[in-house]
Amino acid sequence: MMKRYWFVSITAIFVLIVALMPVKKGSAQGGSPVPRPGAPQATMPVFRLTAPAVNQGSISELGALFPGIGSNTLFSDTTHVGSLRFTIVNTQTGISLEQFAASGGFFVTNVRRAFSETPAILDYGPDFVCNFLQSKGLFPAKATPPQAMDCTGGQLPYREIPIYLSIVTPTMRVEAGMKPDLTQAVSTVIPIGLVYQVPLAIDVGVGAPNYIPLTGPGGHLSVLLTGFGDNESLDPQYPGLNAIASPFYGRQFTKIGDYPILSAREATDQLRAGLPPGTVITPGTPTMAYYVDHPAVTQTTMIPMWVFTGAVVNIDGQEVPLKTPMLPAVTGFLPEVRINSPADNTPYFPGTPLTVTGLLTSSMAGPFTYTLSVDGGGTLDSGVWPVTGTFQLNLATLPFSLTKAGWDNLTLRLSVTDNNGAVGEDAVLLLGPHYVYLPLILRTTGNGRLVGPQPAPPERAAAPNTAPTMGVEWIQYYNGTAPNLPGVPPDANGFYNRLRAAGWSGRFNYGNNVAWEKDWRDCSLGGIDCSWGVDRVQYVYFAGHGSPARIYFGVNKDNYSFFGGNARYQNVRWASFSSCQTLRAGPYIGPGNPPLTNWFNAFQGAYMLLGFHSNMADVAFGGPLVDNMRLPVMFGIVPLYFAQRSIREAWVLTAFQMNAGKPAYLYAVGNFNPVNFKLPDAVWHNYSTPPLTGITQYRWVWWD
């Protein structure tokens, strides 16, 4: 089997609606150390989560805490997972408050101020944030350590993240004919913001406090300051306070029971055992944390996880940071499901019936609900099993798609949920048949090779009044070169499906072994970006492993990694990288330093690249990103143009809301400035996207 229940998508562990998705930061700030191998504590509690009632009344009461919202419009819509969300938005300033029915958690944002690139005077301290949260009653009940609420103690354990704008203005070529990234340059670094993260933790001690931190998209409390005056602050008494992410707000938790701890050493051994022999991985020292999912997701249980922050792996001779692996830290709670047949790497054929057999075991009583699905392809079967034991599912056929590599491989995934809401799953990789296509006319090249028709010329960007175009590439299974990424399929497919629902045309969705390095490399450099690759769409999205100026693949076509210096985007306008450090930034020193400058040659018409300066969490980033980019439409018929965020604002906002890592974006300024371009769509907000030319400046924002 490719996966066992202990190495599953974190969302699958907790979510009753399995559709969507190692998070990064987890330290037991303000409390005792987490249990160690051999420590006296042999069990850890598992909790049941309940959400408060969320409706127009609840969000109106919440909105009263933020005077900056002022006169407003209130409406509701559905999220990327189909749950209900209520929104209050100020029609003059665009300040918005969103509260999620699935959890009670909320985000409140003055996007225009929170993510402005204007210089900021940041003379705030953590006591400023503490006093605000204390005055509004916004510290989550039973989940905030006492040290984090002592505003006068002077030792607040808040994490501080500065935000910078870097500007590089090329002045002259070092030598005639040199590339744009080899220039003398004038560079500037400007502080533009500051984020404080308040540690959240749960006391699991007996007789003495023992705080285990929360982590994940829903396990944080973050506040963003930009140094602006009080004209449009969330609260005039607290000038400069322009964004709050409080996804754990309002939740209650009660203990289900205590379960045996999987030691840190055992978790590390399990992590290694899930990789092929010979894989070079440095897992670091795992820490324990309780994982909480995105507030739009219905989560009913919360279990402790071992978090491998800072883990790295060697891929093709390069040290690559990992989207943080996580493993359950207790045993005996999650149901275990095993697919016995078909086995991994079994070929499948279109139109042929398939029987799936396996075994379900659990310490809990049924009934158990199950879902059999194909990653990115929807549900194949679902139902209820009253008891544990063997099972057999008969499928008439499997979905399939024809790609540049022939019939695509499929990941067959079986998820089982018990009556506690705990989820176990298993998956197998099925291989699609690769048919050989022989063109009617062959010709001989100069080197004696027989070749067929030549690649099609690059496509032009979508013309006005046509649907804008996009495509995604993603890798979950790395074939032993790196740890697999369970959060990647819902990340990439969440972006793809949500953007299609917004009226975009999907040109390609290449996953696992049909996502290639050469798709990203310019045709003039031996790649296929202009024919079968990525430079055929306006927006391209990648989800997988990354490192500075690189993204990584599970197959070698023609390399295991793509180097940003080989990008020449003529038709792509926006490229997003849901990967670690791919846009690693910093002050400009020279060509290639910071590594982000290796991307300068990508701007052959492109507008903006978006990614992460730091490691990134293995979370379903794509769906929430589109939710934050798309034009809000009230009642499905009234477009709220004033409330739509720009693409770069939505990227940084999503990272802030989901605690996904430290974001970064890079753009060029030339015949126009694309900084505030918003997401087009075919219905409400279509516009021409001409190429960006005559570059005079590169600008990037990065969180350090």
C-alpha closest to that of 421 among 463, 367, 458, 472: 367
Integer-rounded Cα radius of gyration of the chain: 25
Q: How far apart are the first and last CA of the chain?
A: 40
Packed helices 622-629 and 647-658: angle between N→C axes, nearest 10 degrees: 130
Do 652 and 572 share a structural domain? yes
Mean pLDDT of 588-612: 95
Give pLDDT tens digits for 37-51: 344 458 999 999 999
Mean pLDDT of 395-407: 67
Q: Whole-angstrom Cα distance, residue 608 to residue 674?
A: 8
pLDDT of residue 376: 64
Lowest mean pLDDT among 309-323, 384-398, 430-444, 624-638: 430-444
Q: Are 191 and 116 in contact (CB under 8 A)?
A: no
Residue 530 lies in a domain: yes
Select the more confidently predicted residue: 453 or 105.
105
Give pLDDT tens digits for 127-180: 999 999 999 999 999 999 999 999 987 789 999 999 999 999 987 555 545 454
Residues paired with residue 203 on neighbouring β-strands, in sequence order: 211
Do 675 and 530 share a structural domain? yes
Q: What is the CATH number of the domain that holds 560?
A: 3.40.50
- Quote the mean pLDDT of the chain: 84
Residue 3 lies in a domain: no
Do 593 and 541 share a structural domain? yes
Mean pLDDT of 573-596: 94
Give pLDDT tens digits for 209-220: 789 999 999 999
Query: Based on the structure, what is the number of domains in the chain?
Result: 3
Q: Are 103 and 247 in contact (CB under 8 A)?
A: yes
DSSP string, 428-480: EEEEPP-PPP--S--EE-TTS-EE-SPPPPPPPPPPTTS--EEEEEE-S--TT
Burial of 4 (0-12, 13-18, 19+ CB in 10 A): middle
Residue 514 lies in a domain: yes
Do 516 and 378 share a structural domain? no
- In single-letter form, the type of residue at position 34 comes to V
Do 475 and 348 share a structural domain? no
Select the more confidently predicted residue: 33 or 599.
599
Last residue of a domain, one of 401, 431, 461: 431
Select the more confidently predicted residue: 227 or 543.
543
Please say if the pLDDT value at position 223 is more than 90. Answer: yes
Select the more confidently predicted residue: 438 or 370.
370
Residue 612 lies in a domain: yes
Mean pLDDT of 603-614: 97
Q: Are 385 and 368 in contact (CB under 8 A)?
A: yes
pLDDT tier, 464 (very low <50, low <70, confident <90, very high otherwise): very low
Last residue of a domain, one of 431, 446, 479: 431
Do 414 and 498 share a structural domain? no
Residue 380 lies in a domain: yes
pLDDT of residue 649: 97
Q: Which helix (H) or strand (E) holds 211?
A: strand 211-215
pLDDT of residue 479: 84
Give pLDDT tens digits for 473-503: 999 888 878 888 989 999 999 999 999 998 8
Select the more confidently predicted residue: 687 or 306.
306
Cα angle, residue 571 at apex, residues 568 and 576 outer, rounded to 5° = 75
Residue 640 lies in a domain: yes
Do 232 and 367 share a structural domain? no
Those residues whose C-beta lies under 8 Å from the C-beta of residue 258, and which sit 6 or more positions away, are 43, 44, 45, 46
pLDDT of residue 666: 98
Please say if the pLDDT value at position 315 is more than 90. Answer: no
Last residue of a domain, one of 250, 270, 299: 250
pLDDT of residue 590: 85
Residue 275 lies in a domain: no
Mean pLDDT of 534-562: 95
Q: What is the CATH number of the domain that holds 363?
A: 2.60.40.10
Lowest mean pLDDT among 168-182, 552-566, 571-585: 168-182
pLDDT tier, 12 (very low <50, low <70, confident <90, very high otherwise): very low
pTM of the model: 0.87
Please say if the pLDDT value at position 338 is more than 60. Answer: yes
Please say if the pLDDT value at position 568 is more than 80. Answer: yes
In the Cβ-directed half-sphere of 493, how many Cα atoms lie within 13 Å?
A: 18
**Which domain covers residue 692, as residue numbers?**
470-703
pLDDT of residue 340: 92
Do 364 and 504 share a structural domain? no
The tokens describing 442, both together, are 């062959």
Select the more confidently predicted residue: 593 or 35.
593
Lowest mean pLDDT among 366-380, 562-576, 582-596: 366-380
Please say if the pLDDT value at position 422 is more than 70. Answer: yes
pLDDT of residue 19: 27
Q: How far is CA 278 from the centre of its chain?
A: 29
pLDDT of residue 402: 60
Q: Are 240 and 124 in contact (CB under 8 A)?
A: yes
Percent of the chain predicted with pLDDT > 90: 56
Please say if the pLDDT value at position 703 is more than 90. Answer: yes
Backbone angles phi, psi at 45, to 5 degrees: -80, 150
Please say if the pLDDT value at position 116 is more than 70. Answer: yes
pLDDT tier, 231 (very low <50, low <70, confident <90, very high otherwise): low
The region that residue 518 occupies, defined by phi over 0 for left and psi between -120 and 50 for alpha, beta otherwise, is alpha
Do 510 and 394 share a structural domain? no
pLDDT tier, 405 (very low <50, low <70, confident <90, very high otherwise): low
Give pLDDT tens digits for 58-73: 999 999 999 988 878 8
Do 494 and 418 share a structural domain? no
Do 486 and 410 share a structural domain? no
Lowest mean pLDDT among 199-213, 247-261, 432-446: 432-446
Do 501 and 397 share a structural domain? no
Q: Are 477 and 552 in contact (CB under 8 A)?
A: no
In the Cβ-directed half-sphere of 428, how many Cα atoms lie within 13 Å?
A: 20
pLDDT of residue 431: 79
Please say if the pLDDT value at position 441 is more than 50. Answer: no
Residue 291 lies in a domain: no
Please say if the pLDDT value at position 682 is more than 70. Answer: yes
